[in-house]
Amino acid sequence: MDKIRAYLRQPVNWIIPLIILSALYYPFIKWLLCLHETIEVIQAYGIFAAVISGLAFIAFLDATRLQRIQLEKQAEEIQLQRDDLKIQHELLEQTIQESREQNRTIALQRFENTFFNLLRNVHTGLEYVQYFEGKVGSRGKLCFVKVYEKQNKTWWNLVKSELNLSEEQLQLERLGNFKIYNENFKYLLNNYLIHLKKSFFNQNQSYFDTIIATIILVKNNQSLLKSDVNIYLQFISAQLTIYEKWALFLYLEIENHHSKSTIFGMNFFEHLQDLHFADARILHDILTFKHSEEINNLDFLT
């Protein structure tokens, strides 16, 4: 097939045979032209007119061939342009994707820098957390245990004194068999929170605020996947003892912190019920009443 095409591209190879055919098939040419004037010319000039007509027909065929070749070239150029546009589009998409990945990497690096700086501040601040029982004081993680034990004892002293309970009734209350009416409970709870605020939270506020800022940073970061958020929150949780979480929980309640509802909704305190039964009751009661007006609007605590 390629040899035939190459042969036909040479005018000498097909023009002369076509002239001969035109002369031999004069009736066919006469019918093909079918114009009265053309027929008269052919009749007048005979074979010479047939040759001229054949040449004209050949010129027409050649023009058609050239036009077809030109159209094929244009089609090839258009296809090349389409291929170039497709490649450019793919490169643009790749560039956009790389830019997004780069921006996400930069955002993640900024987040990690801020996160670990805050976490470093938490560890540094822990060294300055202190609690005094009279003239005896404690620092660091130990003071949270001391505060927990002291405040738990304070709670039961408040229950006993404010409700005028006997020792036997107090023991029943410790076991959960003695019913405190809601109004009495709210009054005791307010006193309990006031005591905590004055004796511990006021002088250690920056430590708790740093922990809260670290948690909110993770929660609100848009560059993290949901699974990454959970990992970072678990990492923060692992840095805190259950006594620190207990203190943070009460701090959010006492200060009525604006991030309280956000942190409460993250199950950050789900293991606080592992504390002793009586203490777990206190936390349960605070959770029960945390949306009440009496607990959320403790104006005298500020």
* Per-range mean pLDDT, top range of 86-100, 127-141, 167-181, 195-209: 195-209
82 and 149 share a domain? no
What per-residue confidence (pLDDT) applies to 105? Answer: 81
3-class DSSP state of 164: coil
User: Do residues 156 and 230 both lie within one domain?
Assistant: yes
Sign of the torsion angle spanned by Cα atoms 205, 286, 241, 278? positive
**Distance between CA 50 and CA 29 in Å, rounded?**
7
What amino acid is encoded at 295 in this protein? Answer: I
- Verify that 71 and 132 share a domain, yes or no: no
**Is the pLDDT confidence value at 106 over 90?**
no
Q: Are 255 and 168 in the same domain?
A: yes
- Residue 110 placed within a domain: no
Q: Which domain holds residue 13?
A: 2-92
DSSP state of 166: -
Q: Answer yes or no: is pLDDT of 299 > 50.
A: no
* pLDDT of amino acid 298: 37
Tokens standing for 49? 């007119």
User: Are 190 and 87 in a shared domain?
Assistant: no
- Boundary of a domain, candidates 67, 92, 117: 92
Residues 182 and 261 in one domain: yes
Measured CA to CA, the distance from residue 258 to residue 106 in angstroms comes to 29
Tell me whether residue 290 is in a domain: yes
Residue finishing a domain among 92, 108, 135: 92
Give the number of domains in the chain: 2
Q: Is residue 67 part of a domain?
A: yes
Higher pLDDT among residues 126 and 138, named by residue: 126
Residue 119 lies inside a defined structural domain of this protein: no
pLDDT at 214: 92
> Is the pLDDT at 87 greater than 70, yes or no?
yes
Compute the average pLDDT of residues 1-29. Answer: 56
Q: Check whether 117 has a pLDDT greater than 50.
A: yes
The whole-chain average pLDDT of the chain stands at 72
- Whole-number Cα distances in Å, 42 to 47, 51, 109, 251, 297: 7, 10, 91, 115, 116
Q: Are 195 and 288 part of one and the same domain?
A: yes
Residue 73's pLDDT is what? 85
Q: Would you state the structure tokens that stand for residue 71, as one six-digit string? A: 């159209």
Most confident of 105-109, 129-133, 163-167: 105-109
**147 falls within a domain:** yes
Answer yes or no: do 85 and 150 share one domain.
no
In a domain, 236, yes or no: yes
Query: CB of 212 within 8 A of CB of 259?
Result: yes
The larger pLDDT score, comparing residue 41 to residue 152, is at 152
- Tell me, yes or no, whether 166 lies in a domain: yes
Residues 133 and 279 in one domain: yes
Q: Are residues 152 and 288 in the same domain?
A: yes
pLDDT grade for 118, boundaries at 50, 70 and 90? very high
Q: 177 and 291: one domain?
A: yes
Burial of 246 (0-12, 13-18, 19+ CB in 10 A): buried
Same-domain status, 209 and 137: yes
Which of 49-63, 95-109, 257-271, 272-286 is the least confident region? Answer: 272-286
Which pLDDT does position 212 carry in this prediction? 92
Query: What whole-number distance in Å separates Cα of residue 139 and Cα of residue 127?
Result: 6
286 assigned to some structural domain: yes
